[in-house]
Structure 1
Amino acid sequence: MATHLITGAGSGIGAAVARRLHERGDNLLLFARDAGRAKEIAAGFPGARTLVGDLANPDRLSWALSHQSLPDRLDSVLHIAGVIEMGPVGELTPKAWHSQLNVNLIAPAELTRLVLPQLRVTSGQVIFANSGAGLTANAEWGAYAASKHGLKALADALRQEEKPNGIRVTSVYPGRTASPMQAKVHQQEGKEYDASRWIDPESVATLILTALDLPRDAQIDDLTVRPGR
């Protein structure tokens, strides 16, 4: 039975992935920013364990995990949590840059570093839920796109470094996906949000599980998916 560490399992793509893995009987280790949120998320996944740590403060993740119990082995780490704050470069404050870089890039790098020993035991897998913004940067998406471009670089470097240990690394680049984050994006854009126009999180979850379950004689480095409507 495989064990997966998942960030962002509280909603959207992360919740869809966690639900699918839970339904098939895999072990889940769900990451939450505080004890209250951990309790909320765990209620939806009976038998799942939680880890508490604030992705917005990656400098403290090592300390947080040192006070909690990690499994001896992990089959995958699924980095799905993310934040966005739009705005033109001429108006974005350092706080906006730091918040997005911390959660979207530095925290995934640090969390991966902290659990690499457990992943090496299983020749496991790291999957990064990136974004179309990780490939193309548009106006007012500068800080978010920068964090996601950096996430691509992180994945590419990690893939080469951990190949001798048998660890597979996959980046998934979804276009606009129906989720609370997408609703926030529309609010920031001043547009009406219609979830039916965008990718269902279940469709992205299918891609992530495809990469996760691919036989070990092959690997998927990058997957791009766009709305079909």
Structure 2
Amino acid sequence: MPTALITGASRGLGAEIARQLAPTHDLLLGGRPSTDLDELATQLDGATTFSVELTDYDEVESAVETISELDVLVHNAGVGSSLETVADTPVEEWHQVLEVNLVAAAELTRLLLPALRAAQGHIVFINSGAGRRANPRWAPYAASKFALRALADALRAEEPTLRVTSVFPGRIDTDMQRDLVAIEGDDYDPSRFLKTSTVAAAVVHAVTTSADAHPEEIVLRPTGRG
């Protein structure tokens, strides 16, 4: 079976992507070492954990040395921001959000390009609606996602043997979403948000699209009818 590496796979959307890819792919489940990641690997027969801190670039480089061929790389790991105005956002937050959401994805991609080229593989970037429109108090997060879109676009032009897909979901029903809604001071209503299973299905659709087509972008918006 083809092999897929999914970052941020221990819970939420990453775990759901893993579950939906498991029937057709051998999985490398990326994430910090945790019982959640170990339990998911146990549930998904044949899955292997890829337990690294993505911003520890020496550790990442060592971890990918044994990967000689990779069919699918799904960049799902990411962090949110504190929803402050630009005037109130400290420089440390800019560094953290851009480091995790952009720089770490770029470096993991760079290190895995030989393996992806060998398989004529597919890279999927889980972006965000914030990667297409920047709203007040979302500047660091939106900036990281706009930049992630630029990374995907440049990579697509540079690597003609690879397929590169950006997925732009609206807000998703996850633990991180609950935290954001709490910061916003609203009551949490999961029906307002996309289901993880819906977004994961879009990723699987992109990955399994016939080789004669290149799914470059997928945009999903919640309807509120979930």
SS of 1:178's partner is coil
Contact kept, 8 Å, 1:62 with 1:114, in 2: the verdict is no
**How many percent identity over aligned positions?**
43
Contact kept, 8 Å, 1:51 with 1:68, in 2: the verdict is no
Q: Aligned pairs, how many?
A: 223
Shift of 1:135: 0.4
Stretch of structure 1 that moved more, 218-227 or 45-54? 45-54
Q: Which runs of 5+ in 2 are unaligned?
A: none
Equivalents in 2 of 1:76, 1:109: separation in Å?
A: 15
SS of 2:179's partner is helix
Shift of 1:15: 1.2
- Structure 2 residue aligned with 1:218: 213
Task: Note the alpha carbon deviations across 1:165-217, whole angstroms, 9 max, x for none.
Answer: x1000000000111111111101211111112211111111111111011111
Match runs of 1:82-121 below 5 Å: 82-85=78-81, 86-121=83-118
Matched, 1:146 2:125: no
Shift of 1:120: 0.4
Matched, 1:70 2:66: yes
SS of 1:149's partner is helix
Equivalents in 2 of 1:82, 1:144: separation in Å?
A: 10
Equivalents in 1 of 2:96, 2:223: separation in Å?
A: 31
Match of 2:163 among 162, 168, 173: 168
**Structure 2-normalised TM-score?**
0.93
Match of 2:129 among 129, 132, 135: 132
What's the RMSD between the two structures over aligned residues?
Answer: 1.6
Runs of 4+ in 1 over 6 A off after TM superposition: none
**Structure 1-normalised TM-score?**
0.92
Equivalents in 1 of 2:35, 2:79: separation in Å?
A: 19
Q: Which runs of 5+ in 1 are unaligned?
A: none
Counterpart AA for 1:106: V
Equivalents in 2 of 1:36, 1:61: separation in Å?
A: 23
Counterpart AA for 2:166: S
Counterpart AA for 1:29: L
Match runs of 1:176-191 below 5 Å: 176-191=171-186
Shift of 1:63: 3.5
Contact kept, 8 Å, 1:9 with 1:30, in 2: the verdict is yes
Equivalents in 2 of 1:14, 1:126: separation in Å?
A: 14
Task: Note the alpha carbon deviations across 1:64-97, whole angstroms, 9 max, x for none.
Answer: 4315653321101000111101211111111211
Change (3 A) 1:112 1:15: same
- Structure 2 residue aligned with 1:81: 77
Contact kept, 8 Å, 1:89 with 1:140, in 2: the verdict is yes
Shift of 1:38: 4.3
Contact kept, 8 Å, 1:52 with 1:64, in 2: the verdict is no
Shift of 1:12: 1.9
Counterpart AA for 2:172: T
SS of 1:170's partner is strand
Equivalents in 1 of 2:77, 2:181: separation in Å?
A: 19
Matched, 1:12 2:12: yes
Counterpart AA for 1:21: L
Contact kept, 8 Å, 1:8 with 1:14, in 2: the verdict is yes
